[in-house]
Amino acid sequence: MSKHTIPHIAKQNGHLVLMVEDKPFILLAGEVHNSDSSSPAYMEHIWEIADHLGMNTLLLPVTWEMIEPEEGSFDFSVPQALIDQARERAMKIVFLWFGSWKNAECMYAPAWVKQDLRRFPRAQIVKGKNKAGRQVSPTIPVKMPYTTLSYLGTETMQADAKAFAAFMGFLKDYDEERQTAIAVQVENETGLLGAAREVSDEADALFTSEVPVDFAAYMRAHSDSMTDEIRAAVLGGRECGNWREVFGETADELFSAYHVAKYVNTVAAAGKAVYPLPMTANCWLDKGSESGSYPTGGPVSKVCEVWDFCAPNIDVYCPDIYVPQFKEVCDEYTRRGGALFIPECATHSYAAPRLLYTVGHYHAICYSPFGFDDIGHPFSAQQGFLFGMDVSDPALKTPQSFEEYAAIGHILREMMPMLAQAYGTNCLQAVSAETDPVTPHPSGNPFMAIPPMMDFGAFRVSAHFQGPMNPRGDGALLCLKISDAECWLVGNACSISLSSGDPDRPNLDLLSVEEGSFENGAWRPGRRLNGDETAQMNMANPSVWHMKFFAYK
């Protein structure tokens, strides 16, 4: 038995945090490429890279096909070896359960599931067809072959739940005491591609019968937080009746979400009954497009109310963010008070500034670039496609510098306990060039434009991301307030100015500015900055500064 409560989600200062070994924990994480964690030998150098990048956690697939190659016979040797590797390096793991779904397909189901189409039916996006072409985009006249398991397959759901429960049983036996695995993602990017809902005879029969009354009532009672489109459909429909009558044009997607979420919840519940680690569900974003063109039924933010009703065993819905609109997506996923957990994001040159920003601004539980071992290398064709290379912002077209990510990662990893303690308070803030534009001065004078500012009450910190000293325009700055006269700054590619926020003592002077680094949690001061270095406080490179100051009349 561990001396600690098992990892769990709790409220700290009104904000959701992940508790690990009874303390708030920030996952400064990375997700590996899909196939890497199938080979512990291959993983050796991936762990090394993660450590160089300052990560404290890896997100690692564990696949149904590998742990249950024959029905009922389990092999946990690979996840066990991964846990051993993590322990040697004092790292944590979030396992990603690739079961019935992986990117809305069934590629990780074991052969005995794939081959038995009677027990484990496929989703029909064309009536009567187990596999059908799906249009990839309205503008590309190519159809991609598509098949996945049906979300109405009760036996499939039970088999998946049984395998997942067996995996969680292994985790409990092998890891409950050491708590290396701190959360589990249930399935990967669930939903249906090619149609907004399944169209088998069974699906049609369910769709044209009564919507469960408790669900219809729940949706009406929770319309406040919904997007306009879903709210209008819910409030404009009938209180009871079939899916179309109750949910109008959104009925197909809500039907899919209802069944996918119930399925995932059954799997999660079976696992939690054995070992109740926090459980997450990630999603392929809808990007404002038509249902069916993204995995429909997965936890895109507009159907979160459906998931709330159907999947109480899922603790956090997680966006996989490759789109340029990073802040918009984070805002969407936090607007209902949920914690921000980003299991996948891009490795272009906003990767490091976004790490600072999500920790400092959103007090995120997890930030995790996907395929992080690519950091510092030219983009592959897949990355180019994923990151949307038609964008005009050069930062989105440039790979993240390895050295910069590593420098910021190391600073945050050392400071993590301090930062996590400040979660839920306004003592921890951040701004970035990407997310916080300069406010133009009403006169139009560019020299009087107002830079992004963090307000800590007694003092304010402004960040200057553009200008002759920092021409690159992808900077970020995080500030942790210690008292009214002391703070830590972590930043890159920005200049800084401090001012008093106290109207009775409007003048502020610096007392000391130290640059330095942390080693094993202890501050090792480097240069004491003064003179030119504080007249123009510029962080040209990733830096951490300890500042003391005072305000006077």
Q: Specify the residue, 98 or 247, whose C-beta has the smaller distance to ligand DGJ.
A: 98
Cα 315 to Cα 222: distance, rounded to the nearest angstrom: 18
- Cβ atoms of residues 412 and 419 within 8 Å: yes
Q: Specify the residue, 184 or 498, whose C-beta has the smaller distance to ligand DGJ.
A: 184
Which amino acid makes up residue 249? E
Q: What character string, x for contact with ligand DGJ (CB under 6 A) and - otherwise, covers 150-189?
A: --------------------------------------xx
HSE (side-chain half, CA atoms, 13 Å) at 106: 28
Q: Specify the residue, 86 or 386, whose C-beta has the smaller distance to ligand DGJ.
A: 386
How many residues bind to ligand DGJ according to rule CB under 6 A? 8
Q: Which two tokens stand for residue 251?
A: 């009925």
Beta strands at 522-529 and 507-519: parallel, antiparallel or unpaired: antiparallel
- Among candidate residues 192, 386, 147, 197, the one with its CA nearest the CA of residue 298: 192
Closest distance between ligand DGJ and the C-beta of residue 320, in Å? 5
Closest distance between ligand DGJ and the C-beta of residue 374, in Å? 11
Residue 121 makes CB contacts below 8 A (sequence gap 6+) with 130, 149, 150, 152, 153, 156, 200
Q: What character string, x for contact with ligand DGJ (CB under 6 A) and - otherwise, covers 379-418?
A: -------x--------------------------------
Closest distance between ligand DGJ and the C-beta of residue 511, in Å? 48
Q: Give the one residue of 19, 26, 28, 34 binding ligand DGJ; rule: CB under 6 A.
A: 34
Beta strands at 537-539 and 132-137: parallel, antiparallel or unpaired: unpaired
Task: Name residues contacting ligand DGJ, limited to 88-117 (CB under 6 A).
Answer: 103
Closest distance between ligand DGJ and the C-beta of residue 543, in Å? 32
Per CB under 6 A, 374 contacts ligand DGJ: no
Q: Which two tokens stand for residue 338?
A: 């949920």
Closest distance between ligand DGJ and the C-beta of residue 345, in Å? 10
Per DSSP, helices labelled H in 376-433 are 381-386, 402-421
- In degrees, rounded to 5, the angle at the alpha carbon of residue 63 between the alpha carbons of residues 58 and 67 is 115
Per CB under 6 A, 148 contacts ligand DGJ: no
Q: Specify the residue, 283 or 416, whose C-beta has the smaller distance to ligand DGJ.
A: 283
SS3 464: strand
Task: Name residues contacting ligand DGJ, limited to 186-215 (CB under 6 A).
Answer: 188-189
- Ramachandran region, residue 247 (left: φ > 0; alpha: ψ -120 to 50; beta: rest): alpha
Q: Give the one residue of 68, 252, 305, 320 binding ligand DGJ; rule: CB under 6 A.
A: 320
Per CB under 6 A, 344 contacts ligand DGJ: yes
Cα 51 to Cα 234: distance, rounded to the nearest angstrom: 48
Q: Give the one residue of 101, 243, 362, 370 binding ligand DGJ; rule: CB under 6 A.
A: 370
Catalog residues that contact ligand DGJ under the rule CB under 6 A. Answer: 34, 103, 188-189, 320, 344, 370, 386
